[in-house]
Structure formats: C-alpha cells, structure tokens
Structure 1
Amino acid sequence: MSTWRSATGRRPPATGQVLAYTLLIALSLVVLVPIVWAVLSSFKTQAELAARPPSPLPASFAPTNYTEALRTFDFGVYLRNSVVVTVAATALTLVINTMAAYGLAKYNFRGRTVLFLVTLGTIMIPLQVILISVYEVAADLGLVNSLWGLIIPPAATPTGVFLLRQYMLGLPDELIEAARIDGAGEFRTFVRIIVPLCAPPLAVLAIFSVIWRWNDFLWPLIISQDQDKYTLPVALAQFDGQLVVPFNYILAMSVVSMIPVIVIFLVLQRHITRGIAATGLR
C-alpha cells in the first residue's frame, strides 16, 4: 500500500505534530488577543470605551489619545524617566553581575562556595522584607527623590549572578591562562575574552533587567516623592484616584510602555533559548 504524499513529495505531518501546532496557535491567540484589544482600544474615545456592547474597532485611528496624553499629563517626563532608569540600571546590572559572576566562577579563594550560596539565598528574600533597610541606606546616601535612587539600589541581582556564573563555569580555563601567558592583565582578559563569550546569558539578563526595571512599581513609588521623578508605572497608577479616570489616555500610555519591552525581546530573542539552555547544563 503506497503512502500518501503532498505535491512537493513530503510526507503529511503526524497527528501528534498537528495537535502540538494547534495547541501552540491556540495559546498564542490567548496571549495576543488582550494585547491587540488594548492597542485598538487605545485609539478609542471615552464614549467608545463606555459603549455597551463594546466595538472591536475604533471609529478613527487618529493618534489623539497619544498626543493629548503626552501634552496634558506630562507623560513625556514620565516616559523619559522610565527610559533613563531602565537603560542606566540595565547597563549597571550587566557590569556588576558579570564581574561578580566572573569572580565566583574563575577565582579560587576561601569561602567562594559559601559566598555564592549566600548570594543565591537572597533570591528568596522579597523586597518588602528589606524595603525599610534599603530605603534608609538610600536616604543616608542622598538618593531619595532622585533618578540615581531608582538606578543604583536594584542594580545587583542574585538571579543575574547565578545565570552568568553557571555559564562561565563551562568556559575553559585554558583561555584565561593563555591570555595571562600572553601578558594580558586581568581586566583585559575579562573584557576581551570572557565578556564576548558570555553574549547569550548577557542577552537573557538584559531582557530580564529591562522587564524588571521598566515594570517596577513598588520601589519607584517609595523612593520618588516629586511627580517629576515618577516613572511610567507610578504615573499611570496615580490616575486611579481621580474623579474621572481618563482610560483612553491610560490605554494609550500603556501601549507605549509595552513597546520597549517588545522591541528588546525581538532584538535579543534568538539568544534566550540558547542562553538559558546553556546555563542550565552547567
């Protein structure tokens, strides 16, 4: 009995493969439908948002909500603060965590394992437990009500140290020894050899850091006292207390807040699977 083949000569997909793709497509739609609905609703007026039953499409795709929100409610200032804090905090996180992971992975010193376990154990400590202590330290350093107070305290993350250390354990020590024999200093060895080889986990950590810093709400709410220091999540939350909540402006700025995370993910997504898989094998 001959096996059925398509016009291109390929065998038909197996039943399990068809079911797997069907399930993945269904789950993708579940994730994408709320995002598409939010994007379409960001172009609607207050009356359209209050209409029942709701219309899936806006009457006009004019960017009035975006321009009015940026002009009337100083969302431009909040957006600028979020961009500055996210970029600076992510860069600082990558530098600090990479250096800490390199020391824990490639230097032999007494208490290295204990120090790593203590660092790893801090993952289980929620921010709410140490919030007062961190705030007092930030106040003593003069970081309260400043963008530096949003950038510096959350920069060192134990998750990033763990990811990078586990990846660096798989890098051959012979590369470092060869660089030292050739006369390269420790810093040059770190920058020219270790950092380029750690591109996959650095991309993963960059995505995580952007998501953490961009969506962070509790710490910016505590450390920022003036509205000109608010980030976008804190500013959006302030509208809940108004007598008339401008949902059309909130939706528009919520869509704007999603764009950087999506762009970063699309740019670095090819490193995610490789970086996490390689880290998990160490």
Structure 2
Amino acid sequence: MNSIKGKSCLFFCFFFLYSYFPISPNVQASEVNSNIYNAALKLPEESNISVKNPWSITLPESIKIDKLDGLVVERNSQNIPIIVSTLNNKTLSIRPIEPYEENSTYTAKIFLNDNEEYILDFTTEILTYDNILLEYTPLPQVSDVNIIDDETIRIKFNQNMKHTFAENSANYQLKDKDYNNISNHIKAIIPVNAKSNTDTNTYDIVLYKTAGDAKDNGILTKDVDSTSWNLIQNQYNITIENIPSTRGVVMYKYSFGVGATDAKK
C-alpha cells in the first residue's frame, strides 16, 4: 500500500471553494479585497486549537459551501499562511504552514460571494507534555485491508476514525483493475464490531450485488442488466480522503490496492 499526500490548497490569503469538485492544489492564492464586504458577523470563539495539527470549522446554516469566496487567518493584521480543505459540505479543515504561537489569539475571516463576511476568533493551546505528544501523533493510515466476501472490503485504520466521516461513501473512491471508477458500486460503509454512532478503527465497504440492485435503490437511473458486481477481479484500487481521526488529525488522501488474493484473511 502506498500513501500519497492529501489534496489540499495552499492559501496565503485567499482560496476558491466549490460544490462538486475537489479543491485544486494548483490554484494560486490572490488577495481578498475586504472593502467590498458588509460588516462582519461574528461566529462563536474556539479555544485550545492545536498549534500544528489541522482543526475544523463547522459552518452554520447561514453559510453554504458554494457561497464561499475566501478565507484568511490573521494575527495582528498579518496574514498567516494556511492549508485549507473541505471535509464535507459543512466542514472546513485548516492547517497552518508554520506552527501558530501557543496561547495566542488569531482571527479567521470567511468571505461569501454575496458580500457577507464572518469572523471567528480562536485561541491556541498552552503547550503541555500531553499535547506536545499529540502534536506528533502519526497521521491516520490504513493498517490492513482484505476482501471478506464477494461484496465486502474490510478496511482497518491505525487509529479510531470519526464515524460520521468514515461512514460517508463520498470519502471513498473505488476503481477496478483498469482504473475505471466504480465508486457507484458502493452501497454502504459499516462499522465493524461497534455500536451505532460509535467511532472505531475498522469499517466494511459493502457493495451492491448487481447494477440492477443499485437501480432498485435509486443509485442508477438508466437501463441496466443483471451483470454481477461481485469482487471477482484480481486487483482493485481504493482512495480514502478527508476522514479525521478521534485524535484530531486528518487523513487527507490515502490510496492503495487490494486483490482477490487478500480475501479470507
């Protein structure tokens, strides 16, 4: 299994967001003209933010991802270089290029394309022995993967992952041996040996049995045959991204292969 770095954008003072396609890592940041925006609305403050690891902002109902024009982080009127990515349609992940100062206050400014502006003040953590260890927590990785049966791929992570993200099929991409995208074969992501709404480190990717099965569930609308979607090929490729662990670090993008020979482990 080969790990590849998460797709995210370097934004020194501005980034473009979207509804239907991932943030391009090649977009060059440009300055936000804050003079065109209305008086800022203040969001609840955040505290104990990691000086190094990514942290997330859950957007209120009044902010839609497709309305976002840009986001900056400032301290003492100076822009702070950051990396921004989307975890889902309501959550942004922010990571500083260089560590923040500990026990310090920063301001995140969120700009909308209807000229509205929101601000969120946040205070960084006071470094202690315990959270210094957390700063060096390894990034989430897939520690084991195998095909359980004709319709199930079991994924084991090296950390417990937040179930609301780990169970979201939009965070998984499945390709066949010819690299054709067959992500629409995914029926559900189910936690293994865990109660409902519980974070765990092992999840099953369950597939539809046939294209007809997917059509019956509203996934496909065109005419389909009864061709089996069982896991019968000798190689599949999976990409997982934008899933945070319970330790507060995010798997931005992780790709690996799994073959039929991995079955029945």
Answer 1 or 2: higher relative contact order, Cα 8 Å, separation at least 6: 1
Structure of greater Rg: 1
* Bin for the TM-score computed over the shorter chain: under 0.3
Going by fraction, where is strand more abundant, 1 or 2?
2
Going by fraction, where is helix more abundant, 1 or 2?
1
TM-score, normalization: structure 1?
A: 0.21
TM-score, normalization: structure 2?
A: 0.22
